[in-house]
Amino acid sequence: MERGGGGDPVAQGEALVVVDASVAVKWFTREEFSDSAARLLAMHREGKVSLASPYLLTYEVANALRYNPGFGIQDVKRAVRALEGLQVSLFPPAGELMDISAEVAFTHGLSFYDSTYVALAMATKSTFYTADREVVKKVQKDWVKHIGALGE
């Protein structure tokens, strides 16, 4: 379940970066660390990094925006379409990814949802960005980073 590392490939601008819904939601809302999330998205659009996530991302972002009092039905529909247009590489819940997810969930005390993002980063040897401080605290790996690490 371990993986290699070395340096910060995101800072070097040459990486596949896994993001979770706590980051992606910030692309559509103004809240703490939205600027950092926007910076990562800009890096993706400029071709400096490629963003990846499990399929779960779309559902979690749509659900978070559904419960955001500033979003109505049409707003959520537009956001989901916009998310599709960002060309984040989405990975299906199958095979090795699910095996690693189960190991991560039990090893680090995470929900299966959260563990799937961590597992994808492990499987692809990528940096993982989240706005969930608990995930960063529980996993404690140098490749698991809080989105705030990109700076506000």
Mean pLDDT for all residues in the chain: 91
The domains of the chain, with CATH numbers, are 13-150 (3.40.50.1010)
Q: What is the mean pLDDT of residues 106-122?
A: 97
Counting other chains too, the contacts that 111-117 makes at CB distance below 8 Å and 24 or more residues apart are 113/56, 113/60, 114/20, 116/54, 116/56, 117/18, 117/19, 117/20, 117/53, 117/54, 117/56
- Whole-number pLDDT of residue 14: 58
For 30-52, the pLDDT digits (tens) are 999 999 999 999 999 999 999 99
Give residue 1's pLDDT band: very low, low, confident or very high (50, 70, 90): very low
What pLDDT was estimated at residue 151?
66
Residue 85 pLDDT:
96
pLDDT digits (tens, 9 = 90+) for 73-98: 999 999 999 999 999 999 999 999 99
pTM here is 0.89
How far is it, in rounded angstroms, from Cα 28 to Cα 17? 19
Q: What is the pLDDT of residue 11?
A: 45
pLDDT at 84: 95
SS3 16: strand
The 10s digit of each residue's pLDDT in 61-78 is: 999 999 999 999 999 999
Find out whether 77 and 61 touch, Cβ atoms under 8 Å. no
